[in-house]
């Protein structure tokens, strides 16, 4: 695990020494990702660097930046879980691999298999590979998007880095906001790949490989996609899944450092904990749990019960409203990420505590998207039945639901029902985006923002299949895994998610609908499997997820801070109607509506814009955005990058 960064300057407009200076600045910006050493490689048109968080091969000093056979340079942020098998296979084909580090297999794998080398990797990674022989640069990201990679292309120069803060450090020129990326963030709380909030800056997508050739050709290839759901007539085998899942946990815990688990009161993290104990019974295992003083949000007692029954140490970390302003500021300034998942705050705080004991944490991320765990999947399942009710019945039901009072409690039924009765005339994914929106469309318009334009073609898929695929390809990699990676690596702790092992993903893709959502039950197959490891009471607990008591905090201890952030000049400079933002806030304070997520999204944007202003020579964000960003389709940058689904060879000049 580490941070990587680099620059390729095709026409040598920059001296190598200047490129090195810029890369050193990038490396310094992500120093929190790698406290155990760093390395830099310089060529005539390339400078590449990485720092290291030692997880495997801790007795070695080699950062994950490998020069192989004098012709291939690889920088890799991540872990190659099947490196032992690959090393043996490559040795049989005549490759000599002198280094013991897991990423040492990547270059010979590329030399052996060419452009299909990524298909052989299992694990998590964001990598850059430079082939000196043909002056080719490859950027790639793992299948589940657990690791991240930003890049920008200007003229013949490519700059890439693990975090946006590093990319800005290379050359902090005045930036412009991307209108569509900003709208995506305000609607959903994150920017989906390939977009970012800045024009000219993009993210490598999950399962994507970007190939940049010296002639100016850019190829966007998906070396892997989530398999289409295939309903199997036979009942899914618990035994087959157990073999795959145990192997995934065993591979991910084949490390040379102490590790722990992120444990809530839910079935996913409890199952990870139980299987981790089963595959390595002699290994000391501590469980780290996020706690709140607010009873409806606190899952400490059931988590402590799981830890006791499994013989794990239990380390609670209590999060309060007082932690929020400082933690948000630290995260934004440390990583440059624009992310409005409130759970980012407790994720960072629990990682900071865990860093005192361990370098790696196991997480249950991915289980909901793959096995059908979200309440919105129940909504997608039943939306068709609701739509067939007479209009008069629908109107009466909507009126009853809208009359339900708002609640500060965690996941109130009224909140879920209000989302369900809206958007029934929309398609599957469009309705799902409406249900999960941080800021609804009507409020986006009142705030002065045109709602984002989404590609929601889902006619060929059943409703639940369509929304699960969307969440797996967008929400999971660019929000949830960004939360985990940015929140944990700020404190030099790696998070691994066994549910995102390739074999586990591909098994889940074969599950029929009834094994994912049945009646009003989510994840029936996974819960049936979990009964082999956990008490029934834990398995059958109502899903609650990691939520933060924002509604009450914004009406209470965070009110002055929130109001100040919503009045911040950078919001107005970026085109947000701050009078509408204040109206939104007052409706929340008066309990006319629960706008906690919308308010939080604006607060995060305000904090991020202030950071962006501080890292730019421009005097205000007005210059950063520019009026061009108000266009429906923001102008491209100097070298037009082809869309993700472009043909393999896309001439960019």
Residue 398: per-residue pLDDT: 65
Which residue in 575, 498, 296, 527 sits closest to 410, CA to CA?
Answer: 296
Task: Pinpoint the residues of the chain covered by CATH 3.60.20.10.
Answer: 2-225+638-651
What average pLDDT does this structure show over 581-610? 97
Report which of residues 101 and 468 the model is more confident about.
468
What average pLDDT does this structure show over 134-156? 95
Q: Mind listing the pLDDT tens digit for each residue in 186-229? A: 999 999 999 999 999 999 999 999 999 998 889 999 999 998 76
pLDDT value at 245 more than 50: yes
What average pLDDT does this structure show over 92-107? 91
Q: Mind listing the pLDDT tens digit for each residue in 366-417? A: 999 999 999 899 888 877 665 655 666 666 766 675 666 665 554 555 555 6
Tell me the Cα Rg of the chain. Answer: 24
Please report the beta strands in 326-441, taking only residues with DSSP state E, as ranges in sequence order: 360-362
- Where does residue 650 rank: exposed (0-12), middle (13-18), buried (19+ CB within 10 A)? middle
Angle between helices 375-387 and 413-420 (to 10 degrees): 50
pLDDT band at 130 (very low <50, low <70, confident <90, very high): very high
Which residue in 68, 213, 217, 203 sits closest to 135, CA to CA?
Answer: 213
Residue 541: per-residue pLDDT: 83
Q: Mind listing the pLDDT tens digit for each residue in 637-653? A: 222 223 333 333 332 22
CATH fold group of domain 238-372+472-539: Rossmann fold (3.40.50)
Distance (Å) of CA 410 to CA 268, 298, 363, 548, 597: 18, 9, 21, 8, 13
Please give the distance of CA 622 from its chain centroid, rounded to a whole number: 29
Please, what is the average pLDDT of the chain? 88
For residue 390, the tally of other CB atoms under 10 A from its CB is 8
169-178, 359-368, 400-409: which range is least confident on average? 400-409
**Cβ distance 197 to 38 under 8 Å?**
no
What span, in angstroms and rounded, lies between the C-alpha atoms of 381 and 384?
7
455 CB contacts (<8 Å, ≥6 apart)?
none
559 CB contacts (<8 Å, ≥6 apart)?
589
As beta bridge partners, residue 66 has 74
Please give the distance of CA 282 from its chain centroid, rounded to a whole number: 32
Backbone angles phi, psi at 290, to 5 degrees: -85, 130
Residue 427: per-residue pLDDT: 81
Residue 632: per-residue pLDDT: 31
**Cβ distance 439 to 192 under 8 Å?**
no
Q: Mind listing the pLDDT tens digit for each residue in 295-315? A: 889 999 999 999 999 999 999
- The tokens for 227 are 């398999």
Among residues of the chain, what percentage have pLDDT more than 90? 72
Q: Mind listing the pLDDT tens digit for each residue in 281-294? A: 999 999 999 999 99
491 CB contacts (<8 Å, ≥6 apart)?
32, 348, 351, 352, 354, 355
**Cβ distance 203 to 194 under 8 Å?**
yes
Which residue in 129, 122, 140 sits closest to 206, CA to CA?
Answer: 140
Work out the angle at residue 382's Cα, subtended by the Cα atoms of residues 381 and 386, and round it to the nearest 5 degrees. 150
- The tokens for 204 are 């490598």
pLDDT value at 100 more than 70: yes
What span, in angstroms and rounded, lies between the C-alpha atoms of 285 and 282?
9
**Cβ distance 350 to 625 under 8 Å?**
no
Residue 385: per-residue pLDDT: 62
Residue 296: per-residue pLDDT: 85
As beta bridge partners, residue 650 has 218
Q: Mind listing the pLDDT tens digit for each residue in 316-333? A: 999 999 999 999 999 999
Report which of residues 486 and 428 the model is more confident about.
486
CATH fold group of domain 2-225+638-651: 3.60.20
98-118 core/surface letters (b: 16 or more CB in 10 A; e: else): eeebbbbbbbbbbbbeeeebb
Longest dimension (CA), the chain: 74
Task: Pinpoint the residues of the chain covered by CATH 3.40.50.620.
Answer: 238-372+472-539
């Amino acid at each position: 695990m580490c941070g990587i960064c680099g620059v390729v300057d095709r026409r040598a407009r920059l001296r190598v020494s200047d490129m090195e200076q810029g890369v050193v600045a990038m490396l310094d910006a992500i120093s929190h990702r790698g406290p155990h050493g760093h390395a830099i490689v310089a060529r005539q048109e390339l400078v590449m660097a990485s720092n290291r968080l030692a997880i495997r091969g801790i007795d070695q000093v080699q950062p994950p930046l490998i020069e192989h056979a004098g012709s291939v340079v690889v920088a890799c942020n991540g872990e190659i879980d099947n490196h032992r098998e690959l090393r043996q296979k490559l040795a049989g084909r005549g490759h000599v691999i002198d280094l013991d580090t897991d990423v040492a297999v990547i270059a010979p794998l590329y030399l052996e298999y060419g452009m299909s080398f990524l298909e052989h990797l299992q694990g998590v990674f964001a990598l850059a590979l430079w082939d000196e022989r043909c002056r080719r640069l490859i950027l790639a990201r793992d299948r589940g998007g657990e690791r991240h990679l930003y890049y920008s292309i200007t003229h013949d120069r490519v700059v890439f880095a693990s975090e946006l803060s590093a990319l800005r450090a290379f050359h902090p020129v005045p930036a412009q906001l991307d209108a569509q990326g900003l709208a995506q963030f305000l609607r959903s709380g994150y920017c989906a790949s390939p977009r970012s909030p800045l024009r000219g800056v993009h993210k490598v997508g999950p399962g994507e490989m970007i190939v940049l050739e010296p002639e100016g050709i850019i190829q966007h290839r998906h070396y892997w996609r989530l398999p289409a759901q295939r309903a199997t007539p036979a009942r899914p085998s618990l035994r087959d899944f157990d073999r795959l899942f145990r192997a995934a946990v065993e591979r991910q815990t084949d490390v040379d450092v102490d590790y722990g688990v992120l444990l809530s009161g839910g079935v996913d993290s409890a199952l990870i904990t139980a299987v981790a104990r089963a595959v390595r019974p002699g290994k000391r295992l501590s469980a780290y749990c996020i706690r709140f003083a607010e009873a409806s949000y606190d899952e400490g007692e059931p988590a402590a019960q799981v830890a006791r029954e499994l013989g794990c140490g239990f380390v609670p970390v209590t999060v309060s409203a007082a932690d929020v302003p400082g933690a948000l500021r630290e995260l934004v300034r440390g990583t440059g990420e624009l992310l409005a998942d409130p759970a980012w705050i407790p994720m960072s705080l629990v990682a900071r505590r865990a860093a005192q004991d361990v370098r790696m944490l196991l997480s249950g991320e991915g289980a909901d998207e793959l096995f059908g765990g979200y309440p919105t999947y129940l909504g997608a399942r039943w939306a068709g039945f609701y739509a067939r009710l007479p209009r008069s019945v629908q109107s009466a039901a909507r009126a009853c639901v809208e009359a339900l009072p708002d609640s500060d409690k965690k996941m109130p039924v009224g909140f879920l029902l209000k989302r369900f009765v809206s958007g029934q005339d929309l398609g599957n994914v469009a309705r799902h985006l409406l249900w999960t929106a941080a800021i609804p469309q009507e409020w986006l318009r009142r705030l002065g923002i045109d709602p984002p334009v989404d590609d929601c073609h889902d006619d060929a898929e059943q409703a639940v299949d369509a929304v699960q695929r969307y969440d797996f390809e967008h929400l999971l990699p660019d929000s949830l895994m960004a939360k985990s990676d940015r929140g944990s690596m700020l404190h030099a702790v790696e998070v691994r998610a066994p549910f995102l092992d390739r074999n586990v993903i591909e098994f889940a893709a074969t599950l029929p609908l009834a094994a994912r959502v049945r009646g009003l039950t989510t994840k029936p197959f996974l819960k049936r499997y979990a009964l082999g490891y956990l008490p029934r009471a834990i398995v059958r607990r109502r899903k609650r997820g990691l939520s933060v008591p924002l509604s009450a905090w914004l009406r209470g201890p965070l009110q002055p801070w929130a109001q100040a952030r919503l009045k911040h000049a950078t919001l107005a400079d970026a085109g947000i109607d701050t009078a509408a933002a204040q109206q939104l806030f007052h409706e929340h304070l008066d309990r006319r509506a629960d706008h906690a997520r919308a308010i939080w999204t604006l607060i995060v944007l305000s904090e991020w814009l202030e950071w962006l202003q501080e890292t730019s020579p421009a005097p205000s964000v007005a210059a950063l955005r520019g009026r061009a960003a108000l266009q429906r389709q923001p102008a491209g940058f100097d070298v037009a990058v082809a869309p993700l689904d472009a043909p393999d060879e896309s001439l960019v000049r």
